Amino acid sequence: MTVFVSCTDRELLDALARVIDVLDPAPEAVAVRARSAFGERTGAACLRLLSDSVRVDPSGGPRRVAFTGLDLRLELVVGGWDVTGVARVGTVVGARWPGGGVTAAVDEVGRFRLGRVPSGPVWFVLRCAGREHATPWFVA
C-alpha cells in the first residue's frame, strides 16, 4: 500500500536532512568549522558581486573579480594566488580561508596586496571605520 503525504518543499528538505544526519553524520570538526565560519559572517554587510572574469586559459592571465567597493586581481603563483586590488583609501582588506587569513592596509592611492592566498574557498573582508563588509565565499 502506498501512502502519499502532502508537504512543502521546506518540510521535505528538513526531513531529508534529518535522515542524512542519522545515516551519514558530518564529522564534528567539520560542523564546528562551519558554525565558526557562519559566526564570522554574521554582522558583516555583504558586498555584492559585480563581475567575475574567470580565466579561459588556465595557464595565463589573472582572474578579475569585482565587488561593490572592492576590485580584486588574482594571479596564479606557486602555492596559491597573488592577490592585488583596489579599494577605498583608509580601509583594510583581509582574505580568510578555512584555517587562515591575511590582511593588508590600502595605500594612499587605493591599492593593496595580500600576497599568497591558497587555492580553494576564500572570502574577502573590507574594514572601514569599525564596520566590516564581506564578499560571499567563492573558490579561488
Summarize pLDDT for 33-72 with one digit per residue, the tens. Answer: 666 555 555 555 677 777 776 655 566 678 888 888 888 9
Confidence of residue 114 (pLDDT cuts 50, 70, 90): very high
Q: Is there a domain that residue 4 lies in? A: no
How far apart, in whole angstroms, are the C-alpha atoms of residue 66 and residue 31?
A: 30
| pLDDT above 90: residue 77 | no
Using the CB atoms, write b or e for 19-34: b if 16+ within 10 Å: eeeeeeeeeeeeeeee
Same domain for 57 and 89, yes or no, is yes
The band of 6, judged by pLDDT with boundaries at 50, 70 and 90, is confident
125 assigned to some structural domain: yes
Strands across the sheet containing 70-77: 49-53, 63-67, 70-77, 80-87, 111-117
Measured between alpha carbons, how far is 7 from 4 in angstroms, rounded to an integer?
A: 10
2 within domain boundaries:
no
User: Is 28 inside a domain boundary?
Assistant: yes
Model pTM?
0.63
Strand, helix or coil for residue 129? coil
Regarding whether 107 and 84 lie in a shared domain, the answer is: yes
Question: Which has the closest alpha carbon to 99: 120, 75, 113?
Answer: 120
